[in-house]
Structure 1
Amino acid sequence: MDTQTILNDATGRMQKAIDHLEEELLNVRAGKASPNALNGVMVDYFGSQVPVSGTASVTVPDAKTILIQPWDKNMLRPIEKAIIDSNIGLTPSNNGEQIRLTIPPLTEERRKELVKQVRSDAETARISLRNARRDAVEAFKKAQKEGMPEDESKDGETQIQKLLEKFTKSLEEVLSKKEKEIMTV
Structure 2
Amino acid sequence: MIADIKQTTESKMQKSVETLRNNLGKVRTGRAHPGFLDQVQVDYYGSMVPLSQVANVTASDARTLSVQPWEKPMVAKIEKAIRDSDLGLNPAANGDVIRVPMPMLTEERRKDLVKVVRAEAEEARVAVRNVRRDGNDQLKRLLKDKDISEDDERRAQDDIQKLTDKYIAEVDKQLAEKEKELMAV
Calculate the TM-score normalised by the size of structure 2: 0.91
SS in 2 for 1:30: coil
Letter in 1 for 2:164: L
Letter in 2 for 1:131: N
Once the two structures are overlaid, the 10-residue window that deviates more, 56-65 or 134-143, is 134-143
1:168 paired to 2:180: no
Question: 1:29-65: CA deviations, max 9, x gaps?
Answer: 2212122221222222233222221111100122211
Letter in 2 for 1:108: E
Q: Which runs of 5+ in 1 are unaligned?
A: none
Match for residue 5 of structure 1? 4
1:24 paired to 2:23: yes
Distance in 2, Cα, partners of 1:87 & 1:161: 38
SS in 2 for 1:61: strand
1:111 paired to 2:89: no
Count of aligned positions? 184
Once the two structures are overlaid, the 10-residue window that deviates more, 102-111 or 145-154, is 145-154
Q: How does 1:57-68 map to 2 (within 5 A)?
A: 57-68=56-67
SS in 2 for 1:49: strand
Distance in 1, Cα, partners of 2:6 & 2:14: 12
Distance in 2, Cα, partners of 1:74 & 1:120: 38
Indicate the RMSD between aligned Cα atoms, in angstroms. Answer: 1.5
Distance in 2, Cα, partners of 1:133 & 1:37: 32
Letter in 2 for 1:172: D
SS in 1 for 2:21: helix
